[in-house]
Amino acid sequence: MKILALNSSPRTGSQSKTELMLNHLVKGMREAGADVEVVNLREKKVNNCIGCFTCWTKTPGKCIHKDDMTDELYPKWLRADIVVYATPLYHFTMNATMKAFIERTLPVAEPFFREHGGRTYHPLRYRHPKVCFLSVAGFPEPEVFNQLSAWVNFVYGQHEILVGEIYRPLAEILDLPFFKEKAEEIYRATEEAGKEIVQNTKISPETTEKITQPIVMDKKDFYEMGNKMWEACIDKGVTPKELLAELKGGIE
């Protein structure tokens, strides 16, 4: 099984909880025998779709843009059995980098109108890979992913393309030492989700429950901790990344 894992986070390392969760998902997929390629979209040039419909008329199936999407990523996307879309939650849905990528997959469809079950659609020119969505958010409520999940299911859920959704609220505290035990449980469950996707093309409810389990019992504790961090950043005139580096330097 060939899997293309796309990471649209602009951040790297421990600063990126999208990357952190994706790494564990990919680990499980590879342990289950899948051939997984990870692509960081921040390192690629993917132009916005300009709505010219050249890919539907003049050059059917091929985009007019000459960039990394046309020359590299779209061919890989077509060859993949499963594509993982890993994105931080921005304004309660995917970020612009991921949306731009998905919009550029338009050449997979033909322009003609079809209808099924009362819904209009465009027929596919090529086989569409199955998809899995992964996202992380700073807010503690799982409901913050409702808008993203609704979009994902509207677009992919009714065509037997969607094989999994992994949404982790309160992700910003995953790498804090105080929550290490809970984080390890979540990481193990995310790896298990990767194995299940490869082996069963779905994630079990039990695994999903472990991934989304609460990290803090009282949200007020999170509010207090988070607000103190932001107050410190504002007082010092630094970003959270700079504050963390300063604290680590003080410890050393």
Q: Judge contact between 35 and 2, C-beta under 8 A.
A: yes
State pTM to two decimals. Answer: 0.94
pLDDT in tens, 69-121: 999 999 999 999 999 999 999 999 999 999 999 999 999 999 999 998 899 99
Alpha helix stretches (DSSP H) within 70-200: 74-79, 96-103, 146-155, 180-200
Instruction: Kindly report the number of other CB atoms within 10 A of residue 19's CB atom.
Output: 19
Mean pLDDT over 22-48 rounds to 98
What pLDDT band is residue 149 in, cutting at 50, 70 and 90?
Answer: very high
The two tokens of residue 191 are: 């790896």
Conformational region of residue 53, where left means phi above 0, alpha means psi within -120 to 50, and beta covers everything else: left
SS3 251: helix
